[in-house]
Amino acid sequence: MIPVILSGGSGTRLWPLSRGQYPKQFLPLVTDKTMVQETLLRLNGLEGIQAPIAVCNEDHRFMMAEQLWEIGGKPQAIILEPMGKNTAPAVAMAALSVKPEDVLLVLPADHVIANVAAFHQAAIAANQLAQAGQLVTFGIVPTEPETGYGYIKRSSSRIGEAYQVAAFVEKPDQKTAETYVSSGEFFWNSGMFAFKAQTFLDELQKFNPEMLQACKNALNGAKVDLDFTRLDKDAFSACPSDSIDYAVMEKTDKAVVIPLDAEWNDVGSWSALWDVTQKDDSGNAVFGDVVTIDTKNSYIYSRNKLVSAIGVEDLVIIETDDAVLVATKSRVQDVKDVVNLLKSQNRPEADTHRKVFRPWGHYDTVDKGERHQTKRIVVKPRAKLSLQKHHHRAEHWIVVRGTALVTKGDQQILIAENESIYIPLGTVHSLENPGVIPLEMVEVQSGTYLGEDDIVRFEDKYGRI
C-alpha cells in the first residue's frame, strides 16, 4: 500500500495555535511529534507499506518536506495544490501518479489513533478488499451520539471484514445521533480510505469525468521542483471542487465500510484535544508555565507567559506570542468565527504567528513601529536567503551567534559575532550561513513600508522567484 497523506486543512478551530500558514497538522499537539509525523509513524510495522505521497498547499511545502525528513520519511512525491479543491481532486492526483494496480491508503494528516494495533488490523483487511476491487472506507465505531461528524450507514451484507455501504449521511442533530448510535448500524465517517488507483479513477471517470480530465491536465502540465510536483495552476483552477464522498463514494456500488474501534479522534476542536490529552487529578490538561487553584476540567496552554487560573471550570485558555483565547469548552466550535472576524479585518493573527518559518530557518518580529521593525532571525547551517532587494526599506544586521556570509551589491563580506552590516534601500543583497551551527541575528528595518511583499527576488535555492 502507498500512504497518501492529505494535508489541506487549515485547522481554524484550534486557533490561536493553528493558523493558516501553520495549521494543526504541523503542530505537536498530542505527543512530541507533529500530527503529520504521527500519521506516518503509526504505519511502522505494517507490512508492505511503500514510501508515501503527500498532498498539501503550496505555502506549506517546506514544512511538509522538513517534517517528513525529520522522521526519515522520504516521500515518492509531494504534490502541491495551487488552491484547495477538496479531497477528491487531491486523491485523483495521487492515483494518477502511481501504477494502476497500486493500492492507496488515504489518510488525513490530523487524526489521532491511540490503538495502533487495531488500526493495522483494519488496514490489512482493507488492503485485501481493495485488491479485490472494492472502494474501502473506515467507519469509526461511535462511543457517543456525536453531532459534529458525518455518519456511514452499513447494510446487512458483509464482504469479509466489511459491510456494504447503505448510505452516507450528514451531521445529525442530537436526537438523530442518539438514534444512529443505538441502532448499531451507523459509524462515524473517518475520511480514511483504501482502494486501487485504477478502481478509483474508473469510478471518478464514471461519475465526474470533468474532474478527472482537469486533474490529468494539471498533472500533465506540472513541473518538478526539488522534491515537489507543482501542478499547473490554470488547469487545476478549472477542476471542480468536491469531496471523495460526494464525487465517488455516495454513487458507486463498490463502497464498503470496515468498522474501526481504535480510539480515533480527529482533534477538530479544543474540547476534542482535551479528550485525548493526559490530565491531572482535577481533570486539567496543562502545558507550559501554568498555575491552577480550584480549577477543574480545563485545557490551559502557555507558550511564553505565566498563566494563572483560579476558581474556573470547563475553560480553554490558550496563550501564544501575539494572541490569547479564553472560551468555555462548550463553545469551542465557535473559535472559527473569531478567525473569520480577524480575516474580515485583515488582521495578520488569522494566518500567521509572530514567529514565521521559512525554508532557511525562521524569524520572530519582536518590535514594530510606523517606520521601524525589529526581528530575531535564525538561519540553519548551510542555508541561504534569496538574492533580493527592497524598494522601501533599509536593513541593519547584527550577528549574535555564528557567522554570516553577506552579499552586498558586488561584495561578499564575512560577518562574525558582535559585528554588524548595513544594507541600504535598493541594494541587491543576500545572507548565507556557511557554518555548522545556527546563525542568530538581530535585524532592524527602517523605511516607509515594511511589508513582507516588498521583496524582489533574483535568485533563490528554494524556487521562490
401 and 312 in a single domain? The answer is no
Range of the domain at 246: 2-265
CA 322, CA 462: separation in Å to the nearest integer?
29
329 and 390 assigned to the same domain: no
Question: Are both 328 and 440 inside the same structural domain?
Answer: no
Q: Which helix (H) or strand (E) holds 88?
A: helix 87-96
pLDDT of 345: 96
- Write the CB contacts of 237 (distance below 8 Å, at least 6 apart in sequence): 82, 83
Of 336, 366, 390, at which residue does a domain stop?
Answer: 336
CA distance 69 to 448: 40
Buried b (16+ CB within 10 A) or exposed e, 439-461: bbbebbbebeebeeebeeeeebe
- Low-confidence residues of the chain, pLDDT below 50? none
Same domain, 364 and 383: yes
Helices H / strands E in the chain, number of each? 11, 30
Instruction: Indicate if 241 and 300 belong to the same structural domain.
Output: no
Record the pTM.
0.87
Count of structural domains within the chain: 3
In a domain, 465, yes or no: no
> What's the N-to-C CA distance of the chain in angstroms?
36
| Any domain includes 341 | no
Residue 343 lies in a domain: no
In a domain, 217, yes or no: yes
Number of Cβ within a 10 Å radius of residue 419: 13
Structure confidence at residue 226 (pLDDT):
74
How far is residue 112's CA from residue 456's CA, in Å, rounded to a whole number? 42
**What pLDDT digit, counting tens, does each position of 380-412 carry?**
999 999 999 999 999 999 999 999 999 999 999
- 204 and 63 belong to one structural domain: yes
Residue 383: the pLDDT is 94
pLDDT at 461: 84
464 assigned to some structural domain: no
Contact 177, 199 (CB under 8 A): no
Q: What does the block give as the cell for 228? A: 515537489
Q: Which tens digit of pLDDT belongs to each residue from 134-180?
A: 999 999 999 999 888 899 999 999 998 899 999 999 988 899 999 99
H/E element, 318: strand 315-319
| C-alpha closest to that of 110 among 226, 228, 227, 29 | 29
113 and 186 in a common domain: yes
